Amino acid sequence: MTKTRRTLTLAASLLLAGCASIQAPSPEAVSNLPVVKFGDPVPADRDYVLFFPPDTPIATTVSIKGSIFAKEAEQSLNVTLRRGIYSYKNWMSYDRVTWLDGRKALKTSVGTQFPGYVHPEPGWVKIRMDERN
């Protein structure tokens, strides 16, 4: 269960993952980078800003696999954002001017519950992401 929780936490944080830096990028430095819409090809040879538009599906795959299962499962789920998010390494912005540390700007929680003696019901996986005010 711990390995699954770590894997799901990593998956949830991939939205804003990247190399960490100490200071927020300056708007001038980031303004010269190409903006790539999520799902489009990213430049292989240079930095870029990744844009997640509002109301555009973001596909996330959930899978349950392992040697104990006779039948494994995998499903793609789509979520949409209320407003667009720009992502540059570990930084996020709503306007490409003010950059926030994504790990501090968003609260992410991941939980799992598997069927068993203490939970004799269907299992569940929950991922929650909220803005910190």
Q: What is the 3-state secondary structure (H, E, C) of 58-107?
A: EEEEEEECCCCCCCCEEEEEEECECCCEEEECCEEECCCCCCEEHHHHEE
Domain membership of residue 71 as a residue range:
2-106
Q: Does residue 21 fall inside a structural domain?
A: yes
Q: Does residue 123 fall inside a structural domain?
A: no
Total structural domains within the chain? 1
pLDDT at 18: 45
Q: Does residue 35 fall inside a structural domain?
A: yes
Q: Does residue 128 fall inside a structural domain?
A: no
pLDDT at 23: 86
- Spans of the chain, pLDDT less than 70: 1-21
The tokens 């899978």 sit on which residue?
63
pLDDT at 20: 46
Residue 103 in 3-state DSSP?
helix
How remote is the C-alpha of 47 from its chain's centroid?
19
Q: Does residue 45 fall inside a structural domain?
A: yes
Q: Does residue 47 fall inside a structural domain?
A: yes
Q: What pTM does this model have?
A: 0.75
pLDDT at 9: 52
Counts for the chain of helices (H) and strands (E), in that order: 3, 9
Q: Does residue 48 fall inside a structural domain?
A: yes
